[in-house]
Chain A
Amino acid sequence: MKVALFVPCYIDQFYPQVGIATLQLLEKLGVQAHFPAQQTCCGQPLANSGCERDALPIYKHFVDTFQDYDYVVAPSGSCVYHVRKHFDKLDQTAEVQHVRGAAYDLIDFISTVLKVESLPGAFPHKVGLHLSCHGQRGLHQANESEMTPVRDGQLSRLLRSLDGIELTNLNRNDECCGFGGTFCVSEAGISARMGQDRVADHVRNGTQVLTGSDMSCLMHLEGIVRRAKMPIKVMHAAEILNGVTS
């Protein structure tokens, strides 16, 4: 199994520890992932801004970079969703189709491909799980409150397998955090208010560590937490799972 690690641009630049944790976690699970150095971005920031045409060279670069791998794993469901859903704008060559199908969010890869449902280790903290919309509603990694009252998903199952962990029961289990790519600056007021409301739900219900599998939502929420100087630590799920696994 030839696995590539895709470290989205903002993680590469601002959260190298998340990339490192992803690489190490995969290694502990028996997967030696390779990081092709020519990678850049999936193109989503441009496409979501209405500039899909300008994103096409980025899409092509992405396919060129990853076409020789069986799987492309990224610690960000949003980028993966973009590759799967919106690379339909490229000519659907065998390479393009392969890369679209090979792209996996880290947690999805662990759950679906590696079929790992529990991890050894302890994390004795109250953990609030932020479900990213693209992972949840886009990649179906968790149940949706629009459909069912049952709150379940890949990441909550993995986290629950840790000793001593308590997951926060939120008032609104799967409301969007308000990041939304360039939305976070073009609609800065609403974006911030959504983030503040999301964080308040965690504070109200006792979250000590706020986590999720999509670093873009967490970057936004961390910005809110740090500005308001709240006693909440924000960590990507890969950091938690890697930290507890020997």
Chain B
Amino acid sequence: MNHAIRADKFLLDADRTTWHDETLWFVREKRDKAVYAVPEFQELRELASQIKNHTLSRLDLYLREFEAAAQANGVFVHWAADAAEHNAIILDIIRKQGATRVVKSKSMLTEECHLNPYLLQNGVEVVDTDLGERIIQFRDEAPSHIVLPAIHLKKEDVGDTFHTHLGTTKGESDPQRLTEAARQHLRAKFLAGEVAISGVNFAIAETGAVVVCTNEGNADLGVNLAKVHIAAMGIEKIIPRLSDLGVFTRLLARSATGQPVTTYTSHFTKPLPGREMHIVIVDNGRTQQLGRPDFRASLKCIRCGACMNTCPVYRRSGGHSYDFTVPGPIGAILSPNIDMKKHASLPFASTLCGSCTDVCPVKIDIHTQLYKWRQVLGEANEIPASKKWGMKFMGRVLASTRVYGLGGQFARRALRLLPHGLTHAPSFNAWAVARELPTPPKYSFREWYAQQPQPTSQPTPQVPA
């Protein structure tokens, strides 16, 4: 099943599509206001981009610097080549504690590695403590957005879910009451948590510390109550120095939600006496992407979600239409690296309008990478055969003036003569499902031009009166 088919399912509910589009556009507008208010915003983007480019160019060195600094802080550092290793390392840490109750704050990496089902299979209760994540965990759904994981749901949907799982009154959809119910429920889980897992927004090579940005404070609550903290990070989360952090925290929340900064920016450097802190550093395909010069820059991503909020396709197709942990434009350039066949339609789920590139706080050339993935997919025969052969045919026609001229005449005549019901049949003309074809003119421009008296010499320029 490709993106277009999944998008069509989302589009079936036209009102919900409108609501989804307007909700995310509202976030995009909040972002715009926050960006306009910072005169040096474009310079910040350039600086962030350069810091990330620099870091990626010597990632091995910075990772080892980070590891050494973290170990000096008394932190256990683990390396995971892939999702399976990541999951096994985390389970092992939990088992060594004899623990069965885990609280987790938001981490797209653990989503990517499918950690939750793995832990559940191994007898560990894992509770997502971010409100949006908890909602979709109850519903056994994947996040549809990396910052707003339950953005595909309306408050009525949340009311139904909480009625089923938390016993709130049937039909209750007041956000205040629903949030309070979640709050009481999560409080008990926080207190019972033996191990806390968090993601990482930034890992500072110089200090060995990890920085987690949240709005709910759930990372702090989980980590400070549990005996063991496990922070999971992709290798690309590294920044060189603590002094670089401010560049990114100024960009992250403004780009994500239009806030000047996230409510909590928590630095985790070393465990308290008698506690443990672990950092799991994960590759899972990132080195492979680093080795692709055209797509390397995708690893600069700081997961703000701005490209999703601005993407006119994402807003109307919903995050689940991408069927990948990270949806939207950035997901469409990350996913083919993981599984080219499965995600072959994603780089085509774009008009290449370029808005994603222009909102990206670290200046990833997202729409250019989408274009380049299309070429890789075309060369690898991962595009539909009808398109491939159609384009080959078109290539022949358009490289020859004569064939092109005759083909155009024929097509226009056919359009004029054939009945509307046939030329506009939705079964074989996708254009005509919602659009009229242009009215075919009797003559093409070239036919008109050939009838005009041709100037024999360069005319004298005439300036309009």
Contacts and interface: CB of A to CB of B under 8 A. Distances in A.
If over half of A's interface residues share one DSSP class (helix, strand or loop), that class is named, otherwise mixed; here it is helix
Contacts of B171: none
Interface residues of B, number: 77
B458 A32 contact: yes
Nearest to A245: B464
12 contacts: A7-B445, A9-B408, A16-B445, A45-B391, A47-B371, A50-B379, A120-B465, A138-B354, A172-B25, A176-B351, A179-B351, A220-B435
Contact of B378 (A20, A43, A51, A181): A51
Interface string A10-39: 011111110110010001111110010111
Given A120-B464, A146-B32, A180-B351, A188 B395 contact: no
Contacts of A7: 445-446
A93 interface: no
A47 to B, nearest CB: 8
A227 B375 CA distance: 34
A9 B32 CA distance: 37
Nearest to A226: B436
A133 B353 contact: yes
A60 B399 CA distance: 8
A214 interface: no
Most buried by B among A32, A37, A176: A176
Contacts of B7: 187, 189-190
B4 A223 contact: no
Most buried by B among A40, A58, A149, A180: A40
B387 A187 contact: no
Contact of A20 (B352, B375, B448): B448
A176 B355 contact: yes
B387 A186 contact: yes
Given A43-B398, A191-B351, 5 more contacts: A9-B398, A15-B438, A30-B463, A180-B352, A227-B436
Interface stretch (A95-103, A155-163, A194-202, A204-212): A194-202
Contact of A53 (B348, B350, B379): B379
B125 to A, nearest CB: 40
A238 B86 CA distance: 59
Contact of B351 (A54, A61, A178): A178
B435 A224 contact: yes
The 3 closest A-B pairs by CB, nearest first: A223-B435, A50-B378, A180-B351
Interface in A210-238: 219-220, 222-224, 226-227
A37 B354 contact: no
A48 B465 contact: no
B446 A193 contact: no
Contacts of B434: 188, 192, 195-196, 223-224, 227
If over half of B's interface residues share one DSSP class (helix, strand or loop), that class is named, otherwise mixed; here it is helix
Interface string A117-150: 0011000000000000110011000001111110
B431 A185 contact: yes
B327 to A, nearest CB: 14
Given A32-B455, A48-B374, A223 B445 contact: no
Interface in B435-460: 435-438, 440-441, 443-450, 455, 458-459
Contacts of B435: 192, 195, 220, 223-224, 226-227
Interface stretch (B104-112, B115-123, B145-153, B312-320): B312-320
B358 interface: yes
Most buried by B among A30, A86, A145, A187: A187
B272 interface: no
A183 interface: yes
Nearest to A191: B351
Contacts of A58: 395, 398-399
A92 interface: no
A145 B379 CA distance: 36
Contacts of B388: 51
A37 B446 contact: yes
Nearest to B360: A146
B198 to A, nearest CB: 31
A165 interface: no
Nearest to B382: A50
Interface string A37-72: 111110101111111111101101100000000000
A33 B316 CA distance: 42
Interface string B401-431: 1001000100110000000000000000011
B93 interface: no
Given A57-B399, A183-B350, A178 B464 contact: no
B434 to A, nearest CB: 3
A183 B375 contact: no
Interface string B13-24: 000010001000
A16 B448 contact: yes
A112 interface: no
Nearest to A38: B401
A79 B414 CA distance: 26
